[in-house]
Structure 1
Amino acid sequence: MRATMPKALSALAEQVEGLFEVHRAGLRTRGGYRNPALNPPSAEHQVIDVRADDGARLRVHAYGPEDAQPVVLIHGWTCCLEYWNPQINAFAEQYRVIAFDLRGHGESEFGEPDQLDCHLLADDLCAVLDAVLRPGQRAVLVGHSLGAMTVQAWAGKYPQRVTDQVAAALLANTGPHSLVAETTVVPFFNRPLPLLNRMIPLPAWLGRNGLSARIVFPPVAAVRWIFARQIMSLAADPESIEFGMNIVRSCRSRIRSEFGLLLAQMDLGDAARHLVVPTTVVAGTADDMTPAVHAEQIASWLRESGNLVQFVLLPTGHLGNLEEIDGFNEILEQVLTSVRKPAEATG
């Protein structure tokens, strides 16, 4: 009996993990929202086989006409490609919309990386671009949060690729470094306190431990309110909050922890200067995760190099493209139109 116990427990653990995987997949692919923008895309998708340098399989989906202008969507921490449903639904008819899961997220494998950092994610982005772009094609890169940090790291590590593979970029709700030092997501820290007439910095150890904690998000009212208040904003539509929370809840707690530590330690320097293509920067006025001061710094570098198209502040929290779907899509449409017009003129 005792000899069979470990095998029995192992089998039970595998069954439980299997159930959790099914649950997480259900959260990612859930439909039935009144707002059709949030529902799974009606457009058919092509699954593109992509392997990272260490052999990890990355889940990559492509929507829309194969010969249309490619747009590559890169999600943020604890999210997945379904996070971009509002943009896929809006643009898949006219554009070749490509979205993928960062390693460890969604259905992409975590692999066995020697070191987990944004430079590794930059390598993964290379693998995706090489797989989805035909010779001579240049994509519009759209990154949110960690996805936009991946774009910055990629531009800094592979500057020779930027003008060859990218026509324009959009960076949303992101930063280059000092995330713990600037975040206002923890109440009373990194924000002016009138009674004390000073600002109390968030201790590095607290920020690091908070970002790397194996936090879970049970679907209860108090957690939903905290998520809305600290990650999004209380002004956001309840359905958008529900959608965003489902996406975040679908992430494995181990991945949330591993990548949270990555964010706490991340320092990309001024890698954004290497984005020598027309670049738009978007920030949220109520973004406590990555306050607008980060975007302002990135925008200033791009302005100095003459590559900043516009810097836009949306009245949102951290998940700007969910909270202001129409406003974000209008900005993205401007980027795509600016790329498509020269191509049509020469074609």
Structure 2
Amino acid sequence: MSRTHRTVSARSADGARLHIEVYGPEEAPAVVLSHGWTCSTLFWAAQIHDLARDHRVIVYDQRGHGRSPAVGPGGYTTDALADDLEAVLGATLAPGEKAVLAGHSMGGMTLMAASARPAFREHAAAALLCSTGSSRLVAEGRVVPMRPGRTRTRLTRMILGARAPLGPVTPVSKRILRYGTMGPGTAPDRVDACARIVHACPRPVRVAWAHVLGELDLDAGVRELRVPTAVVTGTADRLTPSVLARRLADELPECVGVTELTGIGHMTPVEAPEAVTAVIRGLVENHLRTDVGEESAV
């Protein structure tokens, strides 16, 4: 099987254009990767490199990120995330074709937002929720080193929704980013890679999505996620701490395991790429390839 790379463009329900990239053999099992807040398809570079050898890997830029254009002020909602995922699935998968869907941070929230949608139920064989949560993100966040309470919640909301530009990537900005989003032992080249991705996100887009995340409530979407679902969390995650992962595991109808990565922060696919890729491969082996075999036998 030959390895290929192509780009696809899709239109969401409100007309927003989405940039999609497809890697790997066309006939291989499909994996769809949805990135998080302030990131882009570049965030999944390690997973694409590994999985595209024997999977069809579909990645896309969330609206306003990467090469997916920004939208109007009313276009940043969890419903829009679900609309966009449905558009991506429709543009890249054949009718009835199953895939493993993996989402990091806001990408995981995308899966929760879309869990009851027809296209999600048509195409999802299994899911990965990676470094994410369904609600109480600001209240549980540990970016501000204070005891939990209203003061910490208020300061966290102010930091995440700050309108100040991030500016150029510098040694100081990389130290700040590592503190807020990565484990203390993260290799400098991985910090640098994340900084360049995050700093490339337009300020209005970053702020608009920050407001959405600050008011997030997708608990009902978790309970509708009726496919085998794995959860990955870093024990040093300040943005979506492990307490949120454990809450997801308790609420999911079919949780197939929680992987806790010791000393790893929020950027798990970049900080611990082998571990995250292994979970995705496991979902394909246990739930997608079986589905294909069962369908062929009918």
**Given the two structures, how large is their TM-score scaled by the length of structure 2?**
0.92
Amino acid at match of 2:203: S
Whole-Å separation in 2 of the counterparts to 1:162 and 1:128 = 10
Counterpart of 1:53 in structure 2 is 13
Whole-Å separation in 2 of the counterparts to 1:254 and 1:112 = 10
Whole-Å separation in 1 of the counterparts to 2:284 and 2:128 = 10
Identical counterparts, % of pairs: 37
- Equivalent of 1:297, from 247, 271, 278? 247
Whether contact under 8 Å (1:54, 1:113) holds in the other structure is: no
Structure 1 position 244 matched with structure 2 position 194: yes
Q: For 1:260-299, list aligned pairs within 5 A.
A: 260-299=210-249
Whether contact under 8 Å (1:285, 1:317) holds in the other structure is: yes
- Equivalent of 1:135, from 95, 98, 108? 95
Counterpart of 1:94 in structure 2 is 54
- Equivalent of 1:314, from 237, 240, 261? 261
Whether contact under 8 Å (2:146, 2:152) holds in the other structure is: no
Shift of 1:128: 0.8
- Equivalent of 1:179, from 133, 137, 141? 137
Whole-Å separation in 2 of the counterparts to 1:235 and 1:329 = 20
Whole-Å separation in 2 of the counterparts to 1:242 and 1:127 = 32
* Other structure's SS at 2:281 match: helix
Counterpart of 2:45 in structure 1 is 85
Amino acid at match of 1:334: G
Whether contact under 8 Å (2:4, 2:25) holds in the other structure is: no
Whether contact under 8 Å (1:117, 1:266) holds in the other structure is: no
- Equivalent of 2:274, from 326, 329, 332? 326
Change (3 A) 1:344 1:167: closer
Whole-Å separation in 1 of the counterparts to 2:75 and 2:183 = 34
Shift of 1:202: 4.0
**Given the two structures, how large is their TM-score scaled by the length of structure 1?**
0.80
Whole-Å separation in 1 of the counterparts to 2:236 and 2:70 = 32
Max Rg structure: 1
Change (3 A) 1:115 1:82: closer
* Other structure's SS at 1:270 match: helix
Counterpart of 1:153 in structure 2 is 113
- Structure 2 residue runs of 5 or longer lacking an equivalent are none
Query: How far does the alpha carbon of each residue in 1:157-177 deviate from its partner, in whole angstroms, 9 at most, with x for none?
Result: x2x444321000000000001
Counterpart of 1:122 in structure 2 is 82
Whether contact under 8 Å (1:270, 1:301) holds in the other structure is: no
Amino acid at match of 2:109: M
Counterpart of 2:121 in structure 1 is 163
Whole-Å separation in 2 of the counterparts to 1:129 and 1:44 = 19
Shift of 1:343: 4.1
Whole-Å separation in 2 of the counterparts to 1:94 and 1:322 = 20
Counterpart of 1:254 in structure 2 is 204
Query: How far does the alpha carbon of each residue in 1:207-257 deviate from its partner, in whole angstroms, 9 at most, with x for none?
Result: 333222134053222221221122101111111111111111111111111
Whole-Å separation in 2 of the counterparts to 1:233 and 1:46 = 34
Shift of 1:295: 0.9
Paired residue total: 291
Structure 1 position 235 matched with structure 2 position 198: no
Query: How far does the alpha carbon of each residue in 1:233-284 deviate from its partner, in whole angstroms, 9 at most, with x for none?
Result: 1111111111111111111111111111111111112311111111001111
- Structure 1 residue runs of 5 or longer lacking an equivalent are 1-42, 191-199
- Equivalent of 1:74, from 34, 42, 60? 34
Computed over aligned residues only, the root mean square deviation of the Cα atoms, in angstroms, reads: 1.7
